[in-house]
Structures are given as C-alpha cells and as structure tokens.
Chain A
C-alpha cells in the first residue's frame, strides 16, 4: 500500500511539467512499460491477501487512470505548443500575387449574339444557320431582288466564279431556306445570326465582313405593332428597361411596309449625349412586314399568312454596348489586352 502511495506521489511529481513529447513517452515506459512501476505494482496483486485483492486492484486502477489523465494533459499541452510554434513559422506575404490561371473569354460579338439568342429562344424562336457561300437565288432573287434591281447597289456583293454564287451579303437567305423548308406551311419563328460580306473598304465604321442578326416570324395576323413590341423586348433586355423603340419609314425590297428602327439612347434617355450624337436616338437596324411577293415566292398564301422580319448588325450593337469606336477591333489584330477585357460577365 505504501508503494501505491509512493507511485502516486511520483506521478504527481514527474508528470507535473514534462518538457517534451520524448520525455513524456519515456515516462510512459517508466510507469506503464513491461517493467513499469504501475505494471509491476499490478503484478504484485497475486501476493495480496484475498480479502484485500479487490481494494488493491482498485488502487492500481486509480493509479492507471491518474497516469493517463496526467499523460493526456501533458500530451495535449505539448502538441498545442508544437502547432503554435509551427503556425508562428508559417508566415506569408498576402500581398504577393496569386498564380495566374489564364481564363478564356467570348468575343464581344458572340456575347451580343448569345444575349439575343437567349431572348428569342425564350419567345419560341429557333436559332438557325446557313451557308456563307450562297446562291444568287436565295440571297437576292427570292427576296424580291431580281437581277438588275437598283437596290442591289446598296449591297455590293462578292461574287465567286460566276454571278450565281456569292458570299452572302445578308443573312436573309437563311430565312428563305427556312420558309421553303416549312413544307406544311405552318409558320415559322427563327433567328439567324451569322457572318455577312459586302464590298466595303474597311475603316472605323465599315467592314467588308460583319455579323448580322436577323429574325423572322410567319404566322397569322402578324402586324407592325407586333414587330415593334418584339424589338422593344430585345432592346430592353440588351440595354435597359427604359429603352424604347421608334420606327421610321424606310424601304427594303423584301418588306412592305418597311421601317428602320431606332432605340432611345440607353445612355442619356433622349436627353442627347456623345453616344447618340445629341439626337437622343440610336439607329439599330431595318425591319418590316415580310413582302407578300417573298411570302408567295416561298409558298405561303399571303392572304392567310403574314410575318415580320428584322435585321441588325451585331458589330454595331457591340460597339455601342461596350463603347468600341473601331469596328476592326472585332477582327484584327486581337491584342490580348483587348481580348482579356471580355473575360468578364455582363454588368447588372
């Protein structure tokens, strides 16, 4: 029993303030190892009188618990100290730059196209495409622009090999193809963003290659006010809710009536600013009700069906939206410092 007391005091003494994990482990061996003090004390139970065995056992167990308690205490304290010391060493300069993971971006024109597509798909319009090398038939003839028509002047065209094949001067041939493909003549809702080509000398506002977004609906009782409302939806989504659409009388061989559509300046709201050249309005594109001859060329009964079509330049809208002054920026030279400005989402 005295031995027990002695071990107990020893535990209190030796495990009072252990200075390293190594020392702590040595103590474990000293007390609980094969020849440890507690192990040995435990072994002595066989020499204890029967009626005291139980009490002795309890005392030895108490010793074990006490040791474990002290051991754990020390271990926790020592490990905490080690981590604390490690943390002290883990010093970084948070102002040094992070690693650069180069992130991709979408071309500004494609951004405009995507936005328009989202709006139009939500209103049930399909997105279609068509060949860029087109037949005169689809690019002009069926659009009520027969050979020799003066309005062909306005779309000075790149011809290929003979005068029947050309680089499309507008995306309208996609509309023609869609109307012809509507065999059951049930009507159509589609848009067709795409590349177009005209014999323009490249400068800040002209490009021989540009991007049109055209839209078409053919159904029953489609009116000019439906056109205005649809364009209004697009303008509001692309710019902001305050933007309104205005029509001005115009002329296209493939629409009747024909209009040009402007939007109120998204920047100044009609007050006049640099962007709208103090007019309060921005010219966006051309539109109108599909010409009855075009409908009939494509097999629709123009007494039953009507439709509207519109078209505008994605380049121009991107220039307006992002404040780009030179249309060539979209095509050349693609300086990375330009590109990287578009690795960002739209503003809210």
Chain B
C-alpha cells in the first residue's frame, strides 16, 4: 500500500487528479488495484455548549453543539460528553466507515442533527472494548470550531492498493514508486534528506566480522542517547495509512525508512549486544528466541547475526529477544545489510516467518539504498529521537558492482516492439525513466540505475522499459512475415480428435474430470492392482493420487446423475493416465446406462446392454480401420467392479487393447456398462487407407441353417468352422437367431446362421453350393456334436 501524501514528498503532485494518476501509473505496468481515502467529508470541529439529560433515557444526553455557522441539537450517548469541550461532529450527510450515513433523526422523541464521534467510529482506531470505553474523542483546544475535523486530525491521505508484478515488488516502497509516478506523469523525483551531524568518538571499540559468503553487504552505525517516545504525527499517520501500527519513534523510524527505500533495517540495543557482530551460518539445531517470543531451531542454511557467540538475529527474517530495543534502550546499533535472497527465502519459508522485511530481502536489494537508508535512519533518529550519531561506520562489502550499461539502437528497439519510434521518442522515454544514456549517432549507451535490480543490460529489457512508458496502446497489430507452411496435429492428437468426434456421433457426451483423486477412488476399477502414484505434499485427501484409470471418475458422474433422476447417461473421457513407472497411457473410457433410443409413450425403448455396448465398440473399431482384425473374449482377470460373466477384453491382432463389461451388481443396482481402451495401443496398430472394392456383378446364393448345440459353445467357434469348411466362395456368415427354451433340451441352444455364397467372376451353380453346404453341416455336426434342425 502506498500513501499518496508520502509520495508527495518526492514528486510534485499539485493539481494532479488521483484517478488519472492511478490510471497513468497502471498503464506503465504498476497496477493500482484500488484507490481509497481516509478523508471523510462533513466532519466538523464542534464545541459542546450545553448538556442536558434526555427525559426519556438514563444514558442519553441532549447536547447543543456550536458548529461555527450554526448551533445544532445532537443526542449523544457517550458518558464523557460535557460542556465546553471540542469534539468531532459528523454532520447530517456524513458517511462513516461501514457505509453508515448520518441523517437527521428523532431519538426517543428528541430531534438529533448529527453525531459526536469516537475515533473507532471513524475507522481511526480498532473497534474493541478498550476503544469503546474511551467514549467520544475530545479534541485539543487548538482546534477551531467549524473547521474540517478530518484535516485537523491529519486524515487527508489517499491510499493506493497495488497489485504488482513479481519483478516490481520494490514499488511497494515509496521512493521506487515515486520514480514510476514521475515516469508516468513526466516529472522529477526529489530524494529525502539524509544529512546528520556526527560525533567523533575515539574510544568506540566495535568489531564487525563476516564469516559467510551469503552476507553480501553489511553496514552498521552506532547512535547514542536516543529518547524513546511517541512518533511525530506525520510518521504515525503515514504508517497507519499503509497498515502499520505506530509503536514508538525508534521502531517507527526503522519501518518508515524501510517503506521509503525498501531496505529493511534492524536496530539492536547496543548495550545488550556488546561490541561484536559476527555474521555466520547457523549451526545445526542452534536455538534462538525471536522477538515474538518463540523458540526457533536453526539449520546450517540459515544466516545468523551473532554477538560473536550467541545468535542476536536471524538474518533478514527476525531479530532475537536478547537484543531487542525496549523503552529503556538508549544506545542503538543500526544494521543495513544485504543477504543472499535464497537463504532468506528458504529460512522464512521454513520457519513460516514471512515478514515485510523478509519479503524485501528475498526480492534482492540495491546497494545504493543500503547505504542511503542507513543515513536516512540516522537523520530521522537525530531529528525525532534526539539521537547522537557516532561517526564510525562499520562496513563490509562483498558485492559485485559492475556498472550495468548496454548499447541499443533505435532500429533494434523498433524491431522488437514493432513500432516506428523516432529518436525523440526514445530520448523522452529514457528521460522519464531517469535512465542515463550517451547518444552516439544511432547508438545509445544506456546505464541502468542501481535501483532497478529487475532490469538486465540487454536491448530487450530496454525495449520493454521504453515500450511501457511510451505506451503499448500505440502498437498497431501486424501479423508475422514468415514463410507459408501447413499446420497440423500430431498423429496422436489427430487420432484422439477423430475418436472423440466419432463417439459424439454415436451419442456419447464428452466429460473432463480431475486427474488427482483420493485413496478410496484409486481402489476402484484398478485393473492390475498397481501401486499408486502419490503427490509429495497433497493439499487434501481427495486429491492425493494421480489416477491410473478413468472409469472411477466416470462412475462417480453416473451415480450423481442417477441420484438426481437423470436417465440415459452416455459419457466418455479421453485423458492421460500414468502407471507406477510414470509411463503415460492415454485412455478412452466410457460408461453407458439407460436407453440408447427412447420413446416413452410407445414403450419402444432400446435399452443399453452388453450387445449394444459391443456394437458401439465395433462401430468405433471399424471406423478406425480394424475391420476383421479384432475380437472379443470373456475374461476372469478384470477389475472386481466388472460382472464376471458379462464382460470381454478387446483384442486387435490378438493383442489386448481394452475391455468392456457390465458393472458388478455389488457396485450398482442399475444396468451400467463400461469400457476402457488404450489410445496409445490403438495408435501403435497401423491401418491402411480405404481401398474401393467394386460390386459383384454375379448373383449371390443365400442359405440358412440352424443347429442345436451345447449352451456353452460360443458362436464365434461355430462360425470359424463354417468359414473353414465353406472356403473362398462363402463370403459372409451371420447369426440371425439364438433360441433357448420350449422344444429345446435343457443345456442346449438353437443357433441359426445365414450364409452368403458368391464369386466375383461367375455365376455359381446350385450343385456346387450344395456340396459346400453339406460339407459345412458335416463339419459343424462333427466338431460340436451338433444336431441339424430341419427348417
């Protein structure tokens, strides 16, 4: 959050409209999420002239209040209201926090024209028992009756709530933000005063030792005789405006400077600290009690500040209780340092201690501000805490400080942005950004200011800076000038699309379900009882395992729909699954339940059953070009959710590619049919193109025959024998009737076939077909102990 009053210290914002400013700053990439103000109109300084008891109430008073231009009657319930005090009056029309509008009202038969306010009612204090007990706020006598009470309290600030990109978190601080405001409005930045007087103290003995490469820079100064007390009003108001509680002048100054530059500071009580600072990595299991009075166990990845022995601060994260500044502190050691951001990040994440300071350390800091912030703190402590600044400065600097310069040309920037900028545009943009440059013919040697740690010395970075300041709205849309080529799907994606649209044409609805499932779900339809793939740190129990099949997800959908009385459910999903070796397999899964075609009033529903399910799969396999290459075989090896007798695995070229089956009655009372195929296995089975076959010009001969055979004999086995005996001239065999019951012996069935004989080169004679026909009958009778039925 940014206080606009604060920014006004660095950039002249006279006559600037706040909404316009927010828009312009947002346009250059510093997103202002919302603008709010702590100013409340229609609050006046009033003087209570007269207080009378309300005749109809024990605790209410009727007050006559002077508002300068008028005297009004207000009913007030506060116990501390009395005559001749100056108070804050919310006049009729004022809107207090919580959208509470003050209206002229009648309180128990008495007219009231406003409200005498407590601070919590204005949002200036937290609302709690303590602040409520304070009653109405009594203003000092210096307040002028009739004047704006909000301005008197210093509540005239505008607060900008920012939504920053991760590379520009520095703009949560007022000076870096001021640079962006200046760029957006084409203005100059004025930096704050960092001057102070120093006392030379020869006897000061202090020893700084840095014993880890993860401390990049360490600056420290000693200030003496600080007077701890309340902060000046402007510091209080500004900190409160951005959501930081004011504690005392010293603590507030440390926060204030951090919010100016973005450089966190740490203040040690110098007397508790002693004369040594040693920065090192923590020992394993080293302990420290932090400022929040919690014991922390450290690891060798944590950077610590020690007094040469014990830990006095976890670097970048939180100070220790043993050297905390308190009300009795008079001498302070100020630390302004830069640590390895990675260590600070890991430590603060591990300890779950992410503070305003640690967040800043994590993003990386600018050494210029590391020095300036220290000076600024000295300046403010001298001014507002009567501190004496000791001249010695204890410094350690192991930062690589190469000047970041880059050569760019107008042409290159234009080719990156796709714009037609001229030199004047570039110069103007660089000036707005306060990026120094030297122009040499077509070349600009641009220096990147240290405050911009996010910018690299590369022409693309400079182009981005120029582009955002100049305005991306000026980019005219073009299309790439590249050679023409065709675009296409990968073979797998193409097959997936084809299967998907074919299933839709067969009446199935596509769904998308979650890849992550619970342990219970993982057990369902688990084909090979594979081990689960678990997440390292699941978020919740229902999303902890990467699924290996899709059917349980679809089964859930079916059960949901049945529960809300939806019928005729036909859904499919094509999604990736992974086995325990993390091998990817894209699966096609479907569930069918209810009627495939329905007609209620004519009672002509076509119920989904095994054979309809199989028929749909056959259609799909035929469409995919596997005609005459696939077969269905009953299996006793399928998941236990599948009916042991009503199922089959699907084989192509005798390789299993999936299965279909009815859901086991243990798992559903409904007739639900499921299927799952491996897209990757299908993809591996190559198919040829369509080859047109001309129609036969010669007549075909049709013959029917039926047998009585044992019930357990499968149709396909009989067909195989028929085909073998029938030879080349037998073009097609179809089952056209299967019958069990009356007239058929128990344990037997009648099965009837329709045979088609044809030759593409001649007309067949009856006698040659009869020979084949008898051969077929003999074959089937012999092989299956079948009885030929007379027709």
A57 in contact (CB, < 8 A) = no
Find the B residue at minimum CB distance from A261.
B472
Near B by CB (< 8 A), chain A positions 129-183 give 129, 131-133, 148, 150-151, 153-154, 158-163, 165, 167
Chain A residues within 8 Å of B600, by CB: 97
B582 in contact (CB, < 8 A) = yes
- Of A25-33, A43-51, A118-126, the stretch lying at the interface with chain B is A118-126
Render B491-521 as a binary contact track against A, CB cut-off 8 A, 1 for contact.
0110000001101111111111111100000
Chain A residues within 8 Å of B508, by CB: 104
Chain B residues within 8 Å of A335, by CB: 560-561, 564, 566
A245 in contact (CB, < 8 A) = yes
In the complex with contacts A124-B484, A160-B533, A249-B464 CB distance below 8 A: yes
Chain A residues within 8 Å of B507, by CB: 101-104
Q: Is the CB–CB distance between B571 and A248 below 8 Å?
A: no
How far is B600's CA from A98's CA once the two chains are assembled, in angstroms?
Answer: 10
How far is B569's CA from A251's CA once the two chains are assembled, in angstroms?
Answer: 46
B475 in contact (CB, < 8 A) = yes
A306 in contact (CB, < 8 A) = yes
Q: Is the CB–CB distance between A225 and B418 below 8 Å?
A: yes
The minimal Cβ–Cβ distance linking B518 to chain A, given in whole angstroms, is 13
Q: Is the CB–CB distance between B363 and A104 below 8 Å?
A: no
Find the B residue at minimum CB distance from A228.
B477
Find the B residue at minimum CB distance from A207.
B514
Q: Which of A167, A225, A258 contacts B515 (CB 8 A)?
A: A167
Q: Is the CB–CB distance between A336 and B569 below 8 Å?
A: yes
Find the B residue at minimum CB distance from A217.
B480
B771 in contact (CB, < 8 A) = no
Q: Which of B418, B467, B473, B560 contacts A333 (CB 8 A)?
A: B560
A246 in contact (CB, < 8 A) = yes
- Of B70-78, B164-172, B245-253, the stretch lying at the interface with chain A is B164-172
How far is B479's CA from A123's CA once the two chains are assembled, in angstroms?
Answer: 10
The minimal Cβ–Cβ distance linking A302 to chain B, given in whole angstroms, is 9
Give the interface SS of chain B, mostly helix, strand, loop or mixed. Answer: mixed
How far is B362's CA from A197's CA once the two chains are assembled, in angstroms?
Answer: 25
Chain B residues within 8 Å of A154, by CB: 166
Chain A residues within 8 Å of B26, by CB: 248
The minimal Cβ–Cβ distance linking A264 to chain B, given in whole angstroms, is 12
A326 in contact (CB, < 8 A) = no
The minimal Cβ–Cβ distance linking A345 to chain B, given in whole angstroms, is 12
Number of B positions contacting A (CB below 8 A):
96
How far is B563's CA from A335's CA once the two chains are assembled, in angstroms?
Answer: 10
A330 in contact (CB, < 8 A) = yes
Q: Is the CB–CB distance between A125 and B487 below 8 Å?
A: yes
Chain A residues within 8 Å of B327, by CB: none
B488 in contact (CB, < 8 A) = yes
Render B284-295 as a binary contact track against A, CB cut-off 8 A, 1 for contact.
000000000000
B611 in contact (CB, < 8 A) = no
Chain B residues within 8 Å of A306, by CB: 416
The minimal Cβ–Cβ distance linking A167 to chain B, given in whole angstroms, is 7
Q: Which of B478, B596, B598 contacts A228 (CB 8 A)?
A: B478
Render A105-127 as a binary contact track against B, CB cut-off 8 A, 1 for contact.
11101100000010011111111
The minimal Cβ–Cβ distance linking B364 to chain A, given in whole angstroms, is 9
Render B549-576 as a binary contact track against A, CB cut-off 8 A, 1 for contact.
0000000110011001010111100011
A273 in contact (CB, < 8 A) = no
How far is B535's CA from A109's CA once the two chains are assembled, in angstroms?
Answer: 26
Near A by CB (< 8 A), chain B positions 146-201 give 165-168
In the complex with contacts A99-B598, A100-B598, A104-B508, A217-B482 CB distance below 8 A: yes
Chain A residues within 8 Å of B458, by CB: 256, 292
Q: Is the CB–CB distance between A126 and B487 below 8 Å?
A: yes
How far is B475's CA from A291's CA once the two chains are assembled, in angstroms?
Answer: 19
Q: Is the CB–CB distance between B510 and A105 below 8 Å?
A: yes
A247 in contact (CB, < 8 A) = yes
- Of A63-71, A74-82, A229-237, the stretch lying at the interface with chain B is A229-237
Chain A residues within 8 Å of B513, by CB: 331-332, 334
Find the A residue at minimum CB distance from B601.
A96
Q: Which of A105, A165, A330, A334 contacts B582 (CB 8 A)?
A: A165
How far is B589's CA from A137's CA once the two chains are assembled, in angstroms?
Answer: 32
Q: Is the CB–CB distance between B363 and A150 below 8 Å?
A: yes
The minimal Cβ–Cβ distance linking A278 to chain B, given in whole angstroms, is 14
Q: Is the CB–CB distance between A133 and B460 below 8 Å?
A: no
Most buried by B among A106, A133, A330: A133
Q: Is the CB–CB distance between A100 and B599 below 8 Å?
A: yes
Chain B residues within 8 Å of A189, by CB: 482, 485, 487
Q: Which of B167, B482, B516, B536 contacts A219 (CB 8 A)?
A: B482
Size class of the A contact interface (CB-based, 8 Å):
35 or more
Chain A residues within 8 Å of B596, by CB: 101-102
How far is B341's CA from A334's CA once the two chains are assembled, in angstroms?
Answer: 46
How far is B495's CA from A127's CA once the two chains are assembled, in angstroms?
Answer: 13
Q: Is the CB–CB distance between B416 and A124 below 8 Å?
A: no
A223 in contact (CB, < 8 A) = yes
In the complex with contacts A107-B511, A343-B509, A150-B345 CB distance below 8 A: yes
Render B239-274 as a binary contact track against A, CB cut-off 8 A, 1 for contact.
000000000000000000000000000000000000
Chain B residues within 8 Å of A158, by CB: 516, 535-539
A257 in contact (CB, < 8 A) = yes
Q: Is the CB–CB distance between B533 and A132 below 8 Å?
A: no
A201 in contact (CB, < 8 A) = yes
Q: Is the CB–CB distance between A256 and B461 below 8 Å?
A: yes
In the complex with contacts A225-B418, A335-B564, A104-B479 CB distance below 8 A: no
Most buried by A among B473, B488, B510: B510
Q: Is the CB–CB distance between B487 and A256 below 8 Å?
A: no
B370 in contact (CB, < 8 A) = no
In the complex with contacts A150-B362, A257-B464, A251-B167 CB distance below 8 A: yes
Q: Is the CB–CB distance between A257 and B467 below 8 Å?
A: yes
The minimal Cβ–Cβ distance linking A212 to chain B, given in whole angstroms, is 14
How far is B561's CA from A110's CA once the two chains are assembled, in angstroms?
Answer: 22
Q: Is the CB–CB distance between B536 and A160 below 8 Å?
A: yes
Chain A residues within 8 Å of B346, by CB: 148
Q: Is the CB–CB distance between A233 and B479 below 8 Å?
A: yes
Find the A residue at minimum CB distance from B600.
A97
How far is B482's CA from A306's CA once the two chains are assembled, in angstroms?
Answer: 12
Q: Is the CB–CB distance between B514 and A331 below 8 Å?
A: yes
How far is B493's CA from A154's CA once the two chains are assembled, in angstroms?
Answer: 30
Q: Is the CB–CB distance between A159 and B478 below 8 Å?
A: no
Q: Which of A129, A245, A331, A343 contacts B493 (CB 8 A)?
A: A129
The minimal Cβ–Cβ distance linking A80 to chain B, given in whole angstroms, is 31
Q: Is the CB–CB distance between A129 and B492 below 8 Å?
A: yes
Q: Is the CB–CB distance between B166 and A153 below 8 Å?
A: yes
Chain B residues within 8 Å of A159, by CB: 535-537
Q: Is the CB–CB distance between A224 and B582 below 8 Å?
A: no
Q: Is the CB–CB distance between B417 and A224 below 8 Å?
A: yes
Chain A residues within 8 Å of B601, by CB: 96-97
In the complex with contacts A99-B599, A148-B342, A224-B416 CB distance below 8 A: yes
The minimal Cβ–Cβ distance linking A252 to chain B, given in whole angstroms, is 9
Most buried by B among A211, A245, A289, A340: A289
Near A by CB (< 8 A), chain B positions 413-469 give 415-419, 454, 458, 460-461, 463-464, 467-468
How far is B584's CA from A163's CA once the two chains are assembled, in angstroms?
Answer: 19
What are 17 inter-chain pairs, A to B, with CB distance below 8 A? A97-B600, A98-B599, A102-B568, A104-B508, A104-B570, A105-B510, A124-B485, A133-B578, A133-B584, A225-B477, A250-B29, A291-B460, A292-B460, A336-B509, A336-B568, A337-B566, A340-B509
Closest 7 CB pairs of A and B: A225-B418, A249-B29, A223-B418, A257-B464, A104-B504, A229-B477, A251-B165
Not counting A105-B510, A132-B578, A148-B346, a sample of 10 additional A-B residue pairs whose C-beta atoms are within 8 angstroms of each other reads A100-B568, A107-B510, A110-B500, A159-B537, A189-B485, A211-B512, A248-B29, A249-B464, A251-B454, A334-B560
Task: Give residues in B with beta carbon < 8 Å to A.
Answer: 26-29, 31, 165-168, 341-342, 345-346, 362-363, 415-419, 454, 458, 460-461, 463-464, 467-468, 472-473, 475-482, 484-490, 492-493, 500-501, 503-516, 533-539, 543, 546, 556-557, 560-561, 564, 566, 568-571, 575-576, 578, 582, 584, 595-602, 604
